[in-house]
């Protein structure tokens, strides 16, 4: 009954693992064979299970589901392929197990083998007063080995940082050569308020729909920048056919991951069902620019047609991308007939009828189009794809990543390093420190003589509070080529340490290289202000 589900999970995530291994091998020329061998032997597909609530406190039960959310997110940014919560729940459901099932080690191993994952992470947490301690273990599924306990502890108010730290320790256990810093992992969740995150978790785990909505609305009210909460809220509104509210929620989902693409797709649908075809066209077009899959192209064509314009080109692209879908042929037929290509319309309708020979609407159209004297039927409407195929999107995304890996492999080490550093800069500009760090490190590995990579790593280390690491990378960048950005990192570090003369010197060097640098002038103003306070 559920064999098809496990088949597509295996296929999709195996593709993900292959591309991750290929990318890591390309990005790590100095130790590429080790990475490839490790990926071949172990794989990178993970299943993070809810942790056991050993506190005895029902009010802390929500942390069970919070753990996989945090750990999966951080492990994904480190290059692993964690299965989603939806995949896990689907698997449990089709195994006849409840969503809150807490597996034993034996049943967890059985579940992971059934889903064909390489690693599972399981554990527990307990509390004493305001303190919380978590313990995790990693199961190497192919070799049936379990790691020693990996622990992290801290204040309840710092729960997100605690599990970010645990994620880093798990990553180091999975890959002892992993070069990412713990500070970067912790910084990834630094701007996520705990109360808003708790409301989000409660919003995705409540059984009652009204309660789910209440928690999710409270989450985005407390912190309007939680994309995951907006995504969940959009799904709830869409399911209740509150399409205008759904479109607003989906528009708040940011990033380049699958959620953002899914949000764009459902935003397009929400706008379409609200009658806002122009904005629906823009929404579908945004998704198509990233992944031009047939459902997206089809719906973009429908949105264009509903505005009285010609969507034929997009319907042709949809048919070319997936000629086995009958509705794409139907839509192309309708569009061709509307724009006076009767012969083409009849031919496409014939293709549709081969797949669905009993469709009464299509049969009536076929009769009317072939015999103009026949009673005309009502003007047919193009058909909309109403469901997001997450598996198809994952597979297409993986193939694009694979193409990018192949392109990187063909570059010289210097070109590869510069390309990776440029990609990392984009992540850094959006505050995605973990992703930026990984690409900058890959750039340094490809060619350590590219100053942009050291300069970028210096900024990452500075933002995450790793003063020594930031200083080291800034100095490495300056040894290769003096840049204003590297001097600015040093100037800010000296300012924070109270070394005002050194901060002045470094800011001055930055201004020599970039006389219009507002950041360097800000440092000098802060130095002047502090010196004035000292005199007073």
Q: Are residues 29 and 168 in the same domain?
A: yes
Q: What is the mean pLDDT of the chain?
A: 86
Give the three-state DSSP class for 152.
strand
Q: Are residues 12 and 154 in the same domain?
A: yes
Q: Are residues 334 and 482 in the same domain?
A: no
Judge contact between 454 and 472, C-beta under 8 A: no
pLDDT for res 286: 92
Tell me the whole-structure pTM to 2 decimals: 0.79
Q: Are residues 82 and 186 in the same domain?
A: yes
What end-to-end distance do the CA atoms of the chain give, in Å? 79
pLDDT for res 84: 84
CA–CA separation, 275 vs 303, rounded Å?
9
Q: Are residues 407 and 318 in the same domain?
A: no
Which residues are CB-contacts of 265 (< 8 A; sequence separation ≥ 6)? 283, 284, 287, 295, 296, 299, 388
Give the three-state DSSP class for 435.
helix
211 within domain boundaries: no
How far is C-alpha 99 from the chain's CA centre?
A: 24
Average pLDDT over residues 316-336: 95
Q: Are residues 298 and 365 in the same domain?
A: yes
Q: Are residues 362 and 441 in the same domain?
A: no
Q: Are residues 314 and 412 in the same domain?
A: no
Domains in the chain: how many in total? 3
pLDDT in tens, 270-309: 999 999 999 999 999 999 988 889 999 999 999 999 999 9
| Structural domain harbouring 481 | 399-535
pLDDT in tens, 134-180: 999 998 888 888 899 999 999 999 999 999 999 999 999 999 988 88
Q: Are residues 384 and 406 in the same domain?
A: no
DSSP labels, 237-266: HHHTT-HHHHHHHHHT--SSSHHHHHHHHH
Give the three-state DSSP class for 151.
strand
In 381-499, which residue ranges form alpha helices assigned H by DSSP?
390-409, 413-429, 433-446, 451-463, 467-480, 484-497
CATH code assigned at 520? 1.25.40.10
241 within domain boundaries: no
Residue 406 has a CB neighbour count (10 Å cut-off) of 11
């Amino acid at each position: 009954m559920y064999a098809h589900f496990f088949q597509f999970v295996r296929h999709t995530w195996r593709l993900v693992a292959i591309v991750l291994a290929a990318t890591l091998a390309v990005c790590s020329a100095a130790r590429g064979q080790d990475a490839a061998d490790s990926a071949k032997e172990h794989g990178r597909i993970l299943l993070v299970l809810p942790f056991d609530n050993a506190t005895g406190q029902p009010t802390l039960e929500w942390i069970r589901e919070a753990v996989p959310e945090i750990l999966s997110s951080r492990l994904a940014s480190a290059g692993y392929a964690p299965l989603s919560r939806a995949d896990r729940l689907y698997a449990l459901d089709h195994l006849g197990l409840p969503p809150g099932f807490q597996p034993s080690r034996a049943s967890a191993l059985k579940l992971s083998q059934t889903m064909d994952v390489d690693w599972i992470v399981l554990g527990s947490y307990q509390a004493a007063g305001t303190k919380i301690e978590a313990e995790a273990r990693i199961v190497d599924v192919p070799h049936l080995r379990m790691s020693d306990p990996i622990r992290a502890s801290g204040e309840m108010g710092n729960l997100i940082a605690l599990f970010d730290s645990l994620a880093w320790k798990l990553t180091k256990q999975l890959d002892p050569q992993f070069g990412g810093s713990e500070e970067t992992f912790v910084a990834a969740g630094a701007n996520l308020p705990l109360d808003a995150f708790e409301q989000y978790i409660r919003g995705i785990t409540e059984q009652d729909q009204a309660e789910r909505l209440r928690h999710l609305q409270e989450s985005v009210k407390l912190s309007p920048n939680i994309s995951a909460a907006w995504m969940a809220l959009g799904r709830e509104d869409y399911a209740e056919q509150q399409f205008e509210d759904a479109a607003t929620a989906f528009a708040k989902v940011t990033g380049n991951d699958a959620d953002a693409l899914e949000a764009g797709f459902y935003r397009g649908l929400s706008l379409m069902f609200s009658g806002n075809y122009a904005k629906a066209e823009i929404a579908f077009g945004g998704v198509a620019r990233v992944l031009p899959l047939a459902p997206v192209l089809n719906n973009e064509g429908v949105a264009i047609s509903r505005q009285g314009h010609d969507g034929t080109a997009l319907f042709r692209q949809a048919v070319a991308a997936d000629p086995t879908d009958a509705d794409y042929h139907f839509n192309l037929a309708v569009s061709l007939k509307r724009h006076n290509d009767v012969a083409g319309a009849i031919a496409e309708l014939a293709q549709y009828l081969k797949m669905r020979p009993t469709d009464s609407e299509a049969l009536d159209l076929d009769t009317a189009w072939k015999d103009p004297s026949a009673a005309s039927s009502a003007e047919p409407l193009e058909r909309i794809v109403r469901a997001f195929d997450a598996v198809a999107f994952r597979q297409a995304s993986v193939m694009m990543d694979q193409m990018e890996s192949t392109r990187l492999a063909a570059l010289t080490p210097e070109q590869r390093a510069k390309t990776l550093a440029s990609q990392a800069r984009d992540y850094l500009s959006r505050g995605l420190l973990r992703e930026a760090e990984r690409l900058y490190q890959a750039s340094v590995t490809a060619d350590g003589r590219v100053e942009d990579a050291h300069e970028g790593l210096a900024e990452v280390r500075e933002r995450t509070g790793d003063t020594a690491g930031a200083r080291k990378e800034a100095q490495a960048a300056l040894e290769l080529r003096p840049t204003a950005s590297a001097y600015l990192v040093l100037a800010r570090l000296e300012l924070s340490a109270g070394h005002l003369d050194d901060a002045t010197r470094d800011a001055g060097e930055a201004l020599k290289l970039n006389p219009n640098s507002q950041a360097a002038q800000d440092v000098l103003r802060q130095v002047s202000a502090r010196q004035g306070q000292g005199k007073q």
